[in-house]
Amino acid sequence: MNVRILEAREEIGDVVCEIAEGPIWDGRFELLRWVDLNRGLVHAFDPARGQLPSWQLGQHVGFVVPLGEDRLLAGLRDGFAVVGADGRCELSLELEADRPWMRINDGKADPAGRVWAGTMGIESPGSEGTLQRLERDWSVRSELRDLTIPNGIGWSADAATMYFTDTSWGRIDAFDYDLERGALSGRRTYVELSRRDGQPDGLTVDQDGCVWVALWYGGAVHRYTPDGRLDTVVRIPALQATSCVFGGSGLRQLFVTSAAYGLTDTEREDHPRSGRVFVCDPGVAGLPTEAFAPVG
């Protein structure tokens, strides 16, 4: 089996994050956005202007997705919030108010404009996590329960398949996806990862239908073909890869986020660039970042 090996060593932006997560390519402005989860920050990088001012949202932030012409929807500790073009944040929908020890983790918008988001324990993740579906009318439905660290979410180019991983599983699952209703069925294991490769975190899908998954404590991103075969490894100069997204001209650059959180002193010395965002040209194009499209 021939596996292509690539390196993503070039850094993007000027910030060093504790946990860089949730990268998106915001096609409205042609810039990369990502969050620093525990610090509650949203960062942005414009290829033409460089690093842009960061926004402080005041609590944990797991992800952002585009909303309307110039706003963002953010997944915060307390629920879903709208972030204005000036960075001002307003909580729009409280989530799991009866469980204040939980927070939103990773999240994505599907091609129909609804948002999927995982929840997990803030301090010590147990099996209390959920996968929630935010509809365009702002109603919420819990789709999966008994999760620990819900993370990567993505869809095939035809939106007929949804991919999802809980980092604690060590695998990626695939579901048949009804885009019109947002319904899941036909759950099966798509990829089972070896423990020595690291743990699956954030993921994205390319135009060829292949899944790219960042590996926590794996220092890499793996690309798997639609039939689950590993065909590309992208190495980064950080131990904890957290997520990845395609962006840039023609969506042909792969951006990879990383984390410094939890590293030992020795690991920090061995991986001094942890917490940065890296980029490479993998030779394929990705799919666009979808937006939340509320109605009413």
pLDDT (tens digit per residue) in 76-132: 999 999 999 999 999 999 998 889 999 999 999 999 999 999 999 998 788 899 999
Q: In which band, very low, low, confident or very high, does the pLDDT at 207 lie, cut at 50, 70 and 90?
A: very high
Q: In which band, very low, low, confident or very high, does the pLDDT at 168 lie, cut at 50, 70 and 90?
A: very high
Residue in 158, 201, 208, 231 annotated catalytic: 201
pLDDT of 97 reads 86
The pLDDT of residue 165 is above 90: yes
The pLDDT of residue 226 is above 90: yes
Question: Taking residues 225-237, what's their average pLDDT?
Answer: 98
The mean predicted confidence, pLDDT, of the chain is: 96
Which DSSP letter does residue 289 get?
P
pLDDT of 124 reads 74
Among residues of the chain, what percentage have pLDDT more than 90?
A: 95
**pLDDT tens readout for residues 34-88:** 999 999 999 999 999 999 999 999 999 999 999 999 999 999 999 999 999 999 9
Q: Where are the domains of the chain?
A: 4-280
Mapping DSSP to helix (H, G, I), strand (E, B) and coil, where does residue 3 land? coil
CA distance 239 to 224: 20
Question: Cα-atom radius of gyration of the chain, to the nearest Å?
Answer: 17
pLDDT of 80 reads 98
pLDDT of 291 reads 98
Type of residue at 66: P
Domain 4-280 CATH class label: mainly beta
Q: How many CB atoms lie within 10 A of CB 186?
A: 9
CB 45 within 8 A of CB 32: yes
- Residue burial 225-261, b: 16+ Cβ < 10 Å; e: rest: eeeeebebbbbbbbbbbbbbbbbbeebbbbbbbbbbb
201 is catalytic: yes
Question: Taking residues 11-16, what's their average pLDDT?
Answer: 95
CB 4 within 8 A of CB 232: yes
Q: In which band, very low, low, confident or very high, does the pLDDT at 149 lie, cut at 50, 70 and 90?
A: very high
Q: In which band, very low, low, confident or very high, does the pLDDT at 1 lie, cut at 50, 70 and 90?
A: low
Looking at 88-237, list the stretches that DSSP marks H as alpha helix, in order from N- to C-terminal side: none
